[in-house]
Amino acid sequence: MSRAFDWLDKRYGLTPLVDFLKHKEVPVGGHSMVWYYLGGTTLFFFASQVCTGLLLLLFYQPGEATAYESIRFITTKVPFGWLVRSLHCWSAHLMIVSLIVHMFSTFFLKAYRPPRELSWVTGFVLFMLALGFGFSGYLLPWNELAFFATSVGTDSMKAVPGIGDWLLQVLRGGTDVSAQTLYRFFALHVVALPLITVGLVGGHLLFIQRQGMAPAMGTHVARRGLRFFPDFLLRDLLLWLLCLILLATLAVSLPYGPGLPGVEWELGKKANPLAPAYPGIKPEWYFLWVYQLLKEFPPHILGMEGPQAAILLVSVMLGIWAAVPWLDRRAQRDESSTAFSDLGVAAILFVGYLTLKAWDIGGKGLKVPDTFAVARATSIITVIVAAAIFALRRFAYQHRFFLLSGAATLQIALHGFLRVSYLNAGIVSVLLIAAGFAYLRLRPGPSVPPRLGVAP
């Protein structure tokens, strides 16, 4: 080993890299270490996707006459083909779960604050790419569900202001979903997205290696941390082993998914573009909130088409999310910024409520669910969660800013309990936020007292 190392060292000068690894440390204290492992678990699931995807590629054949047949061949004839497909599908969902938890944990720890703005931005783009993987992969089996879900999903692109129709044509390769769409999605899924993602993951990891992991807010002085090599890495590997066990168990015991809408991959019937679309078709679970938001908008609003207004709102929200490192001025000064923690909670309540509603929770299993019953049941769940988060933040972290999460909860409560339309309830909440900020501006003294050294 040491001779091989010397040989490589002489040619490529590896000693500085080894020195760097020897001295690299992960900050300890301030908050739980658990949050530092979630990027690693996301990386694990991404690597699983690449490995199982390559195996599927050995047999998958894109094309109107071959895509569905080749997936059926993989699941019925190829030895362990069903397992590889199941691993690929499960790992895709687990990766998105891990990604979302990683994104919110870095958000709440304010790990995006300078100098780590680009870690956040590359991460945000990776999040969008992961959604792109899910969307493009969904069509590849060319079954009924995939076909109609892609028709509905791509149709919502029309709503993108200005370039909607063009975007729809580019994505579909024509006016309708056809074999052309399948080829494009295949190229995106197995070539374009993996190449861009690998490059960006490389950049994301490089930034983190150069800067190290963010210490807790207010702890400027680097205390002695946990050695990255081997202490942190060994823990990382142990967690990867647990992820592998979880993935294998799920893939073997539920090869076609848990059967929840948006989390199933039963092959079913082959796509037939001439067949009528069946009602109640839903996208994958991580798109459900956008799907539900589109449903909450009327056909026309403020001189725009309803879906256009909904997509514009989603774009503005995502834009704010991407720009958080520059918007959070307090975090830039390494001061506690509870207003931004509140923004994160409001985002969770907003997205969580719409997702539950899209699942028709509380709809009593009716074919056409009772919309009021669904709105009430999902409101009860979300308001309970909101109250629990409020109690945790108030009593464990002494937070005092609840304007945004309060407004999000008010919208949900007005809609679910008093049957106010979702949009009108939203307008009341926006007015409350405006009044709240006006009050904080006019009030003498700091609006949110800085609390250095506490969890943000």
Q: Is 308 in the site for ligand HEM (CB under 6 A)?
A: no
Of residues 119 and 405, the one with the C-beta less far from ligand HEM:
119
- Minimum distance between the CB of residue 77 and ligand HEM, rounded to whole angstroms? 33
Instruction: Find the Cα–Cα–Cα–Cα dihedral 29, 30, 32, 36, rounded to 10°.
Output: -80
- Minimum distance between the CB of residue 168 and ligand HEM, rounded to whole angstroms? 27
According to CB under 6 A, which residues from 395 to 414 bind ligand HEM?
none
Of residues 343 and 407, the one with the C-beta less far from ligand HEM:
343
Q: How far apart are CA 372 and CA 367, in angstroms?
A: 15
In this structure, what token pair is assigned to residue 111? 């790990």
Of residues 301 and 454, the one with the C-beta less far from ligand HEM:
454
- Minimum distance between the CB of residue 327 and ligand HEM, rounded to whole angstroms? 14
Q: Which of 31, 38, 225, 335 binds ligand HEM (CB under 6 A)?
A: 38
Query: Under a CB-based contact definition with an 8 Å cutoff, are residues 36 and 101 in contact?
Result: no
Q: How far apart are CA 282 and CA 261, in angstroms?
A: 7
- Minimum distance between the CB of residue 135 and ligand HEM, rounded to whole angstroms? 16
Q: How far apart are CA 416 and CA 112, in angstroms?
A: 35
Q: Which of 167, 179, 208, 233 binds ligand HEM (CB under 6 A)?
A: 208
Q: Is 36 in the site for ligand HEM (CB under 6 A)?
A: yes
According to CB under 6 A, which residues from 88 to 147 bind ligand HEM?
99, 102-103, 106, 111-112, 116, 119-120, 123-124, 126-127
H or E stretch at 249: helix 233-253
CB within 8 Å of 279: residues ≥ 6 apart? none
How distant is the alpha carbon of residue 204 from its chain centre? 16
Dump strand ranges (E) for 218-303.
226-227, 300-301
- Minimum distance between the CB of residue 117 and ligand HEM, rounded to whole angstroms? 9
Q: Which of 55, 89, 213, 294 binds ligand HEM (CB under 6 A)?
A: 213
What is the DSSP track for 13-81? --HHHHHHHHH-EE--SSS-GGGGGHHHHHHHHHHHHHHHHHHHHTT---STTTHHHHHHHHHHTSTTH
Q: Is 214 in the site for ligand HEM (CB under 6 A)?
A: yes
Of residues 124 and 142, the one with the C-beta less far from ligand HEM:
124
Of residues 205 and 304, the one with the C-beta less far from ligand HEM:
205
Of residues 59 and 321, the one with the C-beta less far from ligand HEM:
321
- Minimum distance between the CB of residue 137 and ligand HEM, rounded to whole angstroms? 15
Task: Determine the interface stretch with ligand HEM among 2-10, 200-208, 225-233, 302-310 (rule: CB under 6 A).
Answer: 200-208
User: How far lies 411's CA from each of 20, 122, 283, 324, 400, in Å?
Assistant: 51, 32, 25, 24, 20
- Minimum distance between the CB of residue 203 and ligand HEM, rounded to whole angstroms? 11
What is the DSSP track for 89-139? HHHHHHHHHHHHHHHHHHHHTTTTSTT-HHHHHHHHHHHHHHHHHHHHHHH
Residues that bind ligand HEM (CB under 6 A): 36, 38-40, 42-43, 46, 99, 102-103, 106, 111-112, 116, 119-120, 123-124, 126-127, 201, 204-205, 208, 213-214
